[in-house]
Structure 1
């Protein structure tokens, strides 16, 4: 029998008490001080959190990207060791804040009421809010332009209060799981930096080197046009799963059957797919595929290693993003920008050697079926399985 089972059998064998969030926590919306008042922002030293902080720095935060001054604070600061929950637009995310703070109106501060502080471990609350996040998604008002969680509905959500010793043991177990995942993520980050370094070293060439030719992409690669697929047709195709992959903007990928696409629009040779609108990117794909007309692809026509060109284009992705036309509703790169882009062409042997090295790094850093990403995903699923089991309680009658 585990220590947790012993504690439950000893301290709460018949179940645990449930209360509402409103009974246990103070719930307050965030706000944004006026951007027109410099006194609210200049030389500020008070943390003002936004969703960007969670995206950039994770779910346990000690400081924010932006700061405000004391003059910008309404009433009083939100207390440290509070939870910050997304309640509009991006719902289903929360963070534990370790310092006194303010947050913007997209976020809601949830802090343990003074009278309940001896009953609740904030780290236990942090873990249980993974379940509350799912409830927030369920109760969000979807009628307007963006989903919003009513604070009154949120306050009515139910929250378990097991004995403090049980909470602490659950926290210990889940902390160990998250530590393993954090170590793997740190390892992946280190390997990604190593990969970027070696990629840049391997793909940097001296233009005075006589053994390296520089040619325009359009001269050495044949451009293949995308097919015309209406949004309605895409929706119909989306219902049929098959072996032909259709690439669309924003990295949307749909598997469909071959009869849905004219044979002339299916590319059966390795190619570099260019996402030329919205999210500008390059994708290397070797199986039969198709793609929408807003995109195009390149395949080799001369003695050149296509995947070498792909890696060189990926290395220079910022060059293309900076040259993307921003005048319309979304960025896009012109055909001329890619056709005239100069690529280095060392010997075929050197191209292939570079590709082999980068393939191994790429698999380690990015392959979701092998390497570190696969292990991280497995750990994540394991954590979610045990988290759900640990945080499921029988209610005391």
Structure 2
């Protein structure tokens, strides 16, 4: 790695001295609300994204409506670090857009001495494994762990060649450049893969809707080609072992996930209505919540019982295939009918009364099989990148962390090691 070799040459024979952050940063000031009539952007604790390390939203405040925690004036190139739940690693670098904003007192503001160190040198160091370990050891409180500003500033960081500021800043800038390149690569990869994923989804949705609107299809009502059932309308008594009791959370993925289920006794299962007992081949769907209507097929023979947050469709196999109904429940034809029945409703749920009357365009069983095969292949393509996206991002993040810790790791004084 050419950049790495260059940094090694820069560090060759260079003295590295460790300083508490407090010694390489300046004092900051709080806003005096009584003395100003101006409005400011307010950076709340939730304003900074844990994932992107960027400010994602602010509110406009002034003296008349400022929260009591809105106190810390920030400037461009300040580093903010959230001291509440510190191991979440909520931090960011203030850019020109937020110069002059007011931050919550839940942030520690690190304003570097520019003749000693660089803001991004601090930024990369507080993302390090050593700093996270320091936070874990020095935070207090169990329900709402926190760390004081003084403790954050008590963390020691390496400054190469401190007696030669120009050389020191040159070395810092070169290492920052390399680390920024890794973070930039990760961001670009995320954007690229997300764009590709959205494109494949749009393509998949378009062809799926086209396939379900074929000429010569027969219009049927869902209730004429299947039976629809709902789960238990009461909460049963749970036991440690027994029959698995499923709810909407078990259908959040594209398959029935039985890794985390509750259990009811065999006796309660036997006494429960048969309507709440899905079997292999049934199409489960969520009736309420953010995952409304999401269909999955039961692919197990073990006994199951379900809560009313789920429903299931048991098809007449002489007329329709279960996978055809599963794909149909993701089409515009299905969702147009859902919106027609739920428009203006304060609380949306899939009601069996009108689900039975939903229109289904039905081809022959042979044509259904062909459509299923095509859509299953599309699903594999979409799922592969959907699953690969977080995995690829994680690999890039690990790569960044490896080089970050490598480039920012220097021998500490013997007294520190002994301590």
Q: TM-score range by the shorter chain?
A: 0.5 to 0.7
Structure 1 length as normaliser, TM-score?
0.68
The CA distance in 2 between the partners of 1:140 and 1:119, in whole Å, is 28
Asked if the contact 2:108/2:152 (under 8 Å) is kept, the reply is no
Asked if the contact 1:273/1:296 (under 8 Å) is kept, the reply is yes
Label 1:52 to 1:358 Cα distance change in 2 as closer, same or farther (>3 A).
farther
Partner of 1:123 in structure 2? 120
Q: How does 1:136-215 map onto structure 2 within 5 Å?
A: 136=135, 139-144=138-143, 146-162=144-160, 163-204=168-209, 211=217, 213=219, 215=221
**What stretches of structure 1 of length at least 5 have no aligned partner?**
34-38, 238-243
The CA distance in 2 between the partners of 1:277 and 1:29, in whole Å, is 49
Give, in angstroms, the shift of residue 56 of structure 1. Answer: 9.9
* SS of 1:10 mapped into structure 2: coil
The reply on whether 1:97 has 2:94 as its aligned counterpart is yes
The CA distance in 2 between the partners of 1:257 and 1:249, in whole Å, is 9
Partner of 2:259 in structure 1? 255
Asked if the contact 1:94/1:133 (under 8 Å) is kept, the reply is no
**TM-superposition CA deviations, 1:151-201 (whole Å, max 9, x none):** 333333333333434433332222222222222211122123313422442
**Aligned residue among 7, 15, 20 for 1:4:** 7
The CA distance in 1 between the partners of 2:11 and 2:22, in whole Å, is 26
After TM superposition, the structure 1 stretch with the greater mean CA deviation from structure 2, 152-161 or 182-191, is 152-161
The reply on whether 1:79 has 2:75 as its aligned counterpart is yes
**Aligned residue among 293, 296, 299 for 1:284:** 296
* SS of 1:148 mapped into structure 2: coil
Give, in angstroms, the shift of residue 78 of structure 1. Answer: 0.5
* SS of 2:410 mapped into structure 1: coil
Label 1:341 to 1:112 Cα distance change in 2 as closer, same or farther (>3 A).
farther
The CA distance in 2 between the partners of 1:267 and 1:382, in whole Å, is 45
The reply on whether 1:342 has 2:358 as its aligned counterpart is yes
Q: CA RMSD in A?
A: 4.9
* SS of 1:2 mapped into structure 2: helix
* SS of 1:160 mapped into structure 2: strand
**What stretches of structure 2 of length at least 5 have no aligned partner?**
161-167, 271-275, 415-419
Give, in angstroms, the shift of residue 80 of structure 1. Answer: 0.8
Structure 2 length as normaliser, TM-score?
0.65
Label 1:207 to 1:375 Cα distance change in 2 as closer, same or farther (>3 A).
closer
- Structure of larger gyration radius: 2
The CA distance in 2 between the partners of 1:197 and 1:246, in whole Å, is 31
The CA distance in 2 between the partners of 1:341 and 1:391, in whole Å, is 65
**TM-superposition CA deviations, 1:80-101 (whole Å, max 9, x none):** 1122223336832212221204
